[in-house]
Structure 1
Amino acid sequence: MLFQIYGENAGYQLLGWLLVFVGLVVTNELARRSKKGGIFFFMLVPAALTVYFAAIYIGAARGAEWALTNQTYTNMNSWFHYAKLYAATAGCIGFMMLKYKWGVGKTEWFKVFPFAIVALNILIAVASDFESGIKGAQAMKEFGDRWWLSSENVWLYGGWWNWLNGIAGIVNILCMTGWWGIYSSKKQEDMLWPDMIWLYILAYDLWNFEYTYLNLPTHAWYCGLALLLAPTFASAFWNKGGWIQNRANTLAIWCMFAQVFPLFQDQGVFATLPVLYADGVMNPAVRPTAVDPTMQGVIAIIALAVNVLVLTVIIKRAITQKKNPYKNEIFTDTKDFQEAMARAQ
């Protein structure tokens, strides 16, 4: 078992997961199907939130009680969350430029933007993984265990699994092929990356789930499982070739929600802990003593193994086809690729 879903709150935990999953699927559809939807979710809302965040930090600097006790300030103050929110939003805007052919979105060179922004997002997570690995090692020297308290008052258990998963993230970047094979769908609802087939999606989802499980353990039930499955679900059933756009959209929307309402997943009936906290408690004021990191290690090994396997497949195909897998598409003979291209302009 990965999460502690039992007892009187189990029904609420499952309901919370379903609400997040369905909410992300629906908002992604609203954002992708029209220019107005995309502009609202990825330009107007982030602009308003930027003003809101600035007001909170200005207020906190001045000692204002409302700001110092604001849940965004107390629960979501790490560099990672802000970096992820704005990097994901930048990706959404760039993808809109490509699918609607706005400005540089018409140019050939800008087609490499999806690779660049996805790689940046992955590297942000890799840096966070390595940070946790380092702090876990420091804690071992100082306290005899691997627990360290994040700036958001969450106990994390840093170890070799962080290093393994960080390496998996770097390998995952190398698994993105056909960088210039970017298209707009016939209805201009989607930016398509046909060479990003199910193999990459599987490798990415495993790596990213492990990232959340290690570094956002109190949120992983939602930002790990629900957030990753929402774009994968849409891509599998009706949005072939549009997975990376789905992923960016749902990630940005979730980051905005979680940044403003973190207590949804941090406290109350919807809060869900992983099995890492063996006694079922995560109290920032008390250093944990009971720990079960087994699944952290197992998933890290699986994530790295799958990413290496996918990269091996890519290398083999590149050699067989005598192609540079980054300049050229190498999965053109697959069903996923062909179904995506059938939707392209």
Structure 2
Amino acid sequence: MDEIPEAREIPDATLREVVRSVEPEWELREAAPAERGFCSVYRLSVADDEESRELYLKASPDGQTWGLPTEARLQAVLRENTSIPVPEVLGVTDDHDERPTPYYLMRALPGEEVAYERVARLDDDALGRLARETGEYVAQLHAVPAVERFGHVRHDGPELTDEPPGGDPATLTVGDPRDEWPTYLREYASRELDRHADSRFADLTPELERWVESRIDALDGPFDAVLGRNDHGLHNLLLDPETGDITAMVDWGYTLAVPAAFDFEFAVYLYSGAFLAGLPEVSDRRNFVREEMLSGYRATDPDLAEAVAPPEPLYEALAMVRIMNDFHHLDLPDGTESAVMDRIETDLRDLLDC
């Protein structure tokens, strides 16, 4: 994996220049760095003679692209073709001699940032609403006619300087694509299992490798590529934590072209909070989340819903592998790590036995 850099500081003078390059009438009133991932993200308050606005600037921390150009264009495609609440992108600059490119400027959306682990503490009403809305939005995402092969989603449009991207799905493509889903899935699983061998769950890796390979061999197609969010979790949402209403879906830099069932299964596991069921008073709500997500998905796209309805243990296991690989990032109460790890391992072994 690429070494993750530190977010770089952007001077106020540069922030003013970025804002004025997109809209000359806007004045920067206030700027504050936001702690969102490793990119340089700033919340900006701007105003003209008539009104004030809240914006976000998302910029590369080190001059590498980190998927930012594609992320900006993907958000434009989703705003144009779905009702998924993504921020409006006002301007993209892919390359510039003096500014921290690539970067893009977008409008802020309402809602609250909620800790990743909070999903296990949402009551059933809020979690049910979150799951149904997720199902609706994921179904819309999967219906966007943008990709035909499997891999990381990229863009194939012109380079931009201080311009908004277009919303045509045809501008999206797949980098280093694979025609066959099992071929790409083997590559994906190999990368994840290499990471797993360095995780705190490494004792399980050899058994997992054998099981995953056998399950890939047993997959029954045909497989159609769709846009897959894959990076599911409360950390990439803004919402009303009391009701579970999703007000924004943010951070689309890890979008993959995958079968719909793969993306759906990841969402079920990660939004169920099952990986935290080793904590006191936390229940495993996978079945509940699956039914609520299916309800929202089926209401949006009843035909495609049949492709995601049957559970696929292989995809769930790979979602669990992601949690195990990033276990050190979980914010757990002191003294509970062993119990949480034991429960995840037990759940995984139950899958391996099926």
Could you tell me the TM-score, scaled by structure 1's length? 0.27
Q: Which has the higher contact order (CA 8 A, sep 6+)?
A: 1
Higher helix share: 1
